[in-house]
A and B are shown apart, each in its own frame.
Chain A
Amino acid sequence: MEYGLKPLGKERFWLLLLLAPTLIGLILGTFGSILATIVLSFMKWDLLSKPVWAGLENYTALFTNEKFYIALTNTIKFSAMYVPGVVIISMFVAILLNRKIRGITIFRTIYFLPCVTSAVATALIWNMIYGKDTGILNYIIQSLGGQPICWLCTNNAMISVVIVNIWGAIGEGMIIFLAGLTAIPREYYEASKVDGANGAHQFFRITIPLVTPSIFFVTLISTINAFQAYDYIYMLTRRSQGDSSVPVVVFSIYRNAWNFFNYGGASAQAIELAIIVIALMAIYFWFEKRYVVYE
């Protein structure tokens, strides 16, 4: 791919200037910070006294740290429910909307609304909806003859938080799937109809394969989001001293650094989180090479 203008003479300087913010951001911001976090993860430092070299201590401590183990399992459980939930529901909604029906703009607007508004603000109302004695959800359940559920108690908080997070994310997924679906040429369906294919056949042989790039993309971004999920969890499950009834790894990092001033330990946790995400991404891209169909 040899496209592009060749910079002439002193234009090289201008080129460097245009790229400068990004280069500074990459070198100092991203890669410098990652390096710094790695170095910090080998130290004990509360930012008040002098930093002390700790070797692998922060990492070995993670293995015996029950709180971190719980946080890690919570993050994995959360992602395992959230990612398929977002992918399947937003694809389903997009397929329904793609059926050339009326009022598509209104539906699209409504489904997208939670993506526009802040999780903090919408969590305020979800907190009320989930209320055990006063919430509308239990009111509906009870008027249908069911038993009230303590949605935000330790036993149920995880699933409640996952529901709200999916609610907040399907709008974006839906738009990506819609873009992918509308790009499928109509002729494919017409041709297969002539060949006698039925609806299910068309769905599995045409729609699904041609929408794999969208599936891949939505899976990718919702995984990245799942591992960083914070706002709804903070708003719906936080307790005193930065604790939570659904402590995820991000919570654990925040708490260690800014409640306990254990910046080394928090850095080690952040590195662990990054390694897991990067490993997952590698697996995803391996799958992409094998199964994703680009036209």
Chain B
Amino acid sequence: MTNTKQKYTLDLITYILLILGAVIMITPFLWMVATSFKLPADQFTKTLIPNPATINNFKELFGTHLNFPLMFYNSFLISGLVTIGQILTCAMAAFCFAVVNFRFRNLLFTLLLITMMIPSQVTLIPNFIIFKWLHLIGTKAPLWIPAFMGGAFGTFLLRQYFLTIPRDLVDAARVDGASLLRIFWNIYMPLSKPALAALAIFTFQGAWNDLLHPLIFLPAVPNTTLTVGLAFFQQQITQGGKYTVLMAGGLISILPLILVFFFAQGQFIEGISLSGVKR
């Protein structure tokens, strides 16, 4: 009897704490949505329901000199290319590490894992110098070319998944005379769709949300990414302007990822869990 009572109290406390936390987590988003539908004159009112509501902020956003459609397109193109590059090159390497037996395999894999711990700032300056020497600063190239050179995180994630695919499949295919490439492309790739999807989502999200790299390689507004554009826009607004329009911009920039998240939540969760399991 006391046991069930105790359980109810514990449950109640759990709910109260979780709801309290959830309010803190979600309020900024609700506030952003609310502000983006308010009249500029109401931008600092403390109500969550805009009254009156307006969609003028969104119209005005696309009318600014910032050229939001162009920045949207740039972000989309760069993130798409980065995702393709990472999926392809990381899967290729992960297949070798998980399936093929070759010399220096463990050494190479360890080296790759070590690079995960090196702060990316260390490689930033030489990269900048190389791309400057190639006259590619101010183009999208420096933002997506490196994605076609593999990566520690993606390779590690896919290798973990590849290792769970039964080896009998490989042996059977080998008996049938399948080549290495066939095994990779016709067995491992189709069977790894969940992991590939998880990596795709992560990579796209990382590229879409990146600020530091576009700030260095593609800094000139308006031909830049959404993140740099929004940062620039914010600076202008703080000197006196409509926060409502700024929030409309913020909302539009996060909307694609929120939609992806709602439809592919499982993949997100699986991806993180996969990266967190023991090595």
Contacts and interface: CB of A to CB of B under 8 A. Distances in A.
A84 interface: no
A213 B127 CA distance: 35
Nearest to A235: B231
B53 interface: no
16 contacts: A22-B92, A25-B150, A96-B17, A99-B14, A116-B205, A116-B257, A116-B261, A118-B208, A118-B211, A119-B209, A121-B230, A122-B28, A127-B238, A224-B119, A266-B125, A267-B125
A28 B131 CA distance: 13
A113 B96 contact: no
Interface of A: 1-7, 11, 14-15, 18-19, 21-22, 24-26, 28-30, 32-34, 36-37, 40, 47, 93, 96-97, 99, 101, 105, 107-114, 116-122, 124-129, 131, 134, 136, 139, 167, 171-172, 175-176, 178-180, 213-214, 217, 224, 227-228, 230-231, 234-235, 238, 250, 253-254, 257-258, 263, 266-267, 270-271, 273-274, 277-278, 281, 294
Given A179-B273, A230-B211, 15 more contacts: A1-B106, A2-B101, A22-B93, A30-B118, A33-B126, A96-B18, A111-B25, A120-B227, A129-B28, A167-B25, A175-B272, A176-B273, A213-B278, A234-B231, A253-B121
Contacts of B120: 228
B179 interface: yes
B121 to A, nearest CB: 5
B112 interface: yes
B41 interface: no
Nearest to B132: A47
Contacts of B272: 172, 175-176, 179
Contacts of A175: 269, 272-273, 276
B26 interface: yes
A73 to B, nearest CB: 18
Nearest to A143: B46
Nearest to A36: B126
A234 B119 CA distance: 18
